[in-house]
Amino acid sequence: MSLTQELVRLIRAKPVSADDLEAASLFVLDTLACALAGRHTPQALALKQFVSHRGEAPAMQAFLFGGLAHIVEMDDLHRSSVTHPGTVVVPPALAKALETQASGRDFLTAVLQGYEACCRIGDSVGPAHYRVWHNTATCGPFGAAMASAYLMDLDEQQAVWALGNAGTQSAGLWQFLPDAAMSKHLHTARACEAGMTAAELALHGFTGPAHILEGEQGLYAGACPDPRPEAVTATPTAPWALGLTSMKPYPCCRHTHPAIDCALDIVAQAGGPLALADLAGAALTTYPAALDVCDRPLPETAYQAKFSLQHTVLQALTQGQIGFDSFDEAARAGLQAGQATVELAVGPDFATAYPGAWGAHLDVQTRDGQRWRAETDQALGDPAKPLDRAAVVAKARRLLALGAVDQAQGEALISACLDLLMPGSRLPRIHKLLMEGAEHDH
């Protein structure tokens, strides 16, 4: 039996509780609010113009919202797989649920199954994969395919074909970051489309490789120097991966969040933000992947600043918050003019704990001799420090306001997402509100 077949059986055997479905509705809201928050950005305008010429097929709608949801860097993150499952599962699940006239319960069940496939395969690709490949892009098609397979009622063989052809489309390289390109949003958009396409082809008898993961010419052989195949089917009775997924409170790379939490802890200890001119230096200790992705002392663009440990730490220390405007030209120029430095180092304990836990230690000194320290092994929004329902709704409102969504429409979207388990389908209402939001530009 192939790993893919084992995975399909494992996922389909997992019980689904009311609490699981309720949690899924919050992640749906979070993902869709993220999508509308980025709707007026240059990346969004390009994506919408592209889709407008490709028709209104469900796969193209998933492509659009998958790309939009990844723009403002507040989408969810599953730590051990280092994937953003919401962006690659919720849009295709919604598009396919609308097409199949699924109930809210079936839609949310598909979301749970999609997260599980994406995250379990993400757990298996190994840490070396992440240095070159963007895990959300390479593992995302599997999640999109699994969610689609459930809503299309594919049998086991068809689901294996769907995952096989999703995997053969796996792609997405980190080179967009040093080049300051928009490719990261293409990664999630294409993952949504690829997974849906693979599932639709399977329905029509189009076969896919059953051994796409572990085969001699499969994903592990081609892109994973240190794979962990056993992770695909490990702990089958564990909670759903969605329940182990983190939500972001800050609009920047999740690798910066433990450091931000430490900086804000120091601000609280000091009784308020620290003046940039008073800083003698700061030393941040964390895990290697954070440095691999976010060691960027002089970011030249807002997007690079979102991937800068140095910028985010200084911004949090001197402003006492991280907001949507914390990465713009004025914010970058103000910090760089101060010549303050943040030294980065790897901590062995943090390295060992990663990716199961994402931690950091921050040591700050001021010119008058004061010294402040803070440490965390969990970031705000992690399962151990979760955002509760009220915090998720408050975050959604901030995101919708950023996207200049009409307040009444925004509240209607929030209610529709939270009421998905109520009798009667909210999916057409959600779709209508999303399409109205995506189409109206400044």
Which pLDDT belongs to residue 442? 44
CATH topology of domain 3-249+385-439: 2-methylcitrate dehydratase PrpD (1.10.4100)
Pairing of strands 245-246, 360-366: unpaired
- In the block, tokens 């909670």 appear at 239
pTM flag (> 0.85) = yes
Instruction: Please list, in sequence order, all residues whose beta carbon lies within 8 angstroms of the beta carbon of residue 353, skipping any fewer than 6 positions away.
Output: 287, 359, 377
- pLDDT tens sequence across 278-325: 999 999 999 999 999 999 999 999 989 999 999 999 999 999 999 999
- pLDDT tens sequence across 316-340: 999 999 999 999 999 999 888 765 7
Q: Containing H/E element for 342?
A: strand 342-346
* Three-state secondary structure call for residue 33: helix
Domain positions in the chain: 3-249+385-439, 254-376
Backbone angles phi, psi at 359, to 5 degrees: -125, 175
Which pLDDT belongs to residue 441? 52
The share of the chain scoring above pLDDT 70, in percent, equals 99
Residue 31 near residue 118, CB atoms below 8 Å: no
Distance CA 183, CA 165 (A): 22
Q: Which two tokens stand for residue 391?
A: 């915090």
CATH number of 254-376: 3.30.1330.120
Q: Which residues of the chain have pLDDT under 70?
A: 338-339, 440-442
